[in-house]
Amino acid sequence: MIEVRNVKFVYNEGAEDEKEALHNVSFTVNDGEFVALVGHNGSGKSTLARLFNGLLAPSSGIVKVDGMDTSDKKALFDIRKTVGVVFQNPDNQMVASVIEDDVAFGPENLGLASEEISERVEWALKSVGMAEHRKGTPFRLSGGQKQRIAIAGVLAVKPKVMVLDESTAMLDPLGRDEVMNVITRLNREEKMTVIMITHFMEEAALADRIIVMRDGRVAAEGGKEIFRKRELIESAGLELPVAARIAAKLRERGLDIEGDVTLPGELIDALCP
């Protein structure tokens, strides 16, 4: 679905404050997959988010979305229909003062018929559990609710891929759960490809595959077995999920714990057979 091949990205190329944010990055994201992209602040995660839908074009290398090259300006419209991005700050993503108008903004720009638009708006709002708010204003909602409206706005375009760029970072635990529930459901039930950029390793542990970024490079990728590599995760400025941290400390002290422990339930099962 998304192919990143030998991508280099340089901000302010040629200027005095030139900065190479990505050095020769390659990976693919398959159709229907839930991938977590993790890494420290400044590791290049958000640059990748902007490369996925052609907001930025690579300085060298290729980013392909559903077979389309993001450097091809003529393909941008279709690329943005395919890849939707939800950003960090919900307040910066609201465009209208009535929720249903806000969600309709994307499909309106696709030039769809008005019945189709209102069907999509209703479906998108239902998907995020906000249908009863459609006539309300986004400005009086909580952070978690606003972020769900932002997700609905992206959904209404019916993209194949949803990219979340630290979309839960500004939310409280309740809001974070609301958003994560919506995302995992969309991935499982609607088979939507999800790329989630996050610092929260407990969120990353819900993904099928984890890609660890460090200083503009892919430091590691793989399934949950990645959390066995404590040094690698810590060298990327991250920390293991709490259950994995405790399992690692217990192993260091000589207690034998079998299997890959990342979620609390797995540690509990390992300790209380």
Residues forming the site for another protein (CB under 8 A):
17, 39-42, 88, 142-144, 166, 169-175, 199, 201-202, 234, 237-239, 242-243, 245-246, 249-250, 253-255, 264, 267-268, 271-272
Which residues partner with 65 through β-bridges?
2, 68
Instruction: Give the three-state DSSP class for 63.
Output: strand
Instruction: Please report how close the Cβ of residue 47 comes to another protein at its closest, in angstroms.
Output: 14
SS3 content of the chain, % helix, strand, coil (to 5): 45, 25, 35
Task: End-to-end CA distance of the chain: give it in Å, rounded.
Answer: 41
Instruction: Please report how close the Cβ of residue 181 comes to another protein at its closest, in angstroms.
Output: 15
Closer CB to another protein, residue 72 or residue 271?
Answer: 271
Instruction: Please report how close the Cβ of residue 217 comes to another protein at its closest, in angstroms.
Output: 16
Q: How far is CA 132 from CA 107, 115, 123, 135, 190, in A?
A: 20, 19, 12, 8, 22
Look at residues 224, 177, 220, 175 and name the one whose alpha carbon lies nearest to residue 204.
224
Instruction: Please report how close the Cβ of residue 106 comes to another protein at its closest, in angstroms.
Output: 26
Closer CB to another protein, residue 88 or residue 93?
Answer: 88
Which residues partner with 84 through β-bridges?
162
DSSP letters of 161-200? EEEEESTTTTS-HHHHHHHHHHHHHHHHHS--EEEEEES-
Instruction: Please report how close the Cβ of residue 49 comes to another protein at its closest, in angstroms.
Output: 15
CA 140/CA 146 separation, integer angstroms: 9
Closer CB to another protein, residue 40 or residue 126?
Answer: 40
107: which residues sit within 8 A by CB, 6+ positions away?
Answer: 116, 117, 120, 121, 156, 157
Instruction: Please report how close the Cβ of residue 241 comes to another protein at its closest, in angstroms.
Output: 8
In this structure, is the dihedral angle defined by the CA atoms of residues 127, 132, 134 and 136, taken in order, positive or negative?
negative
Closer CB to another protein, residue 100 or residue 165?
Answer: 165
Closer CB to another protein, residue 81 or residue 224?
Answer: 224
Instruction: Please report how close the Cβ of residue 150 comes to another protein at its closest, in angstroms.
Output: 16
Closer CB to another protein, residue 46 or residue 187?
Answer: 46
Residues in the chain: 273
Closer CB to another protein, residue 35 or residue 267?
Answer: 267
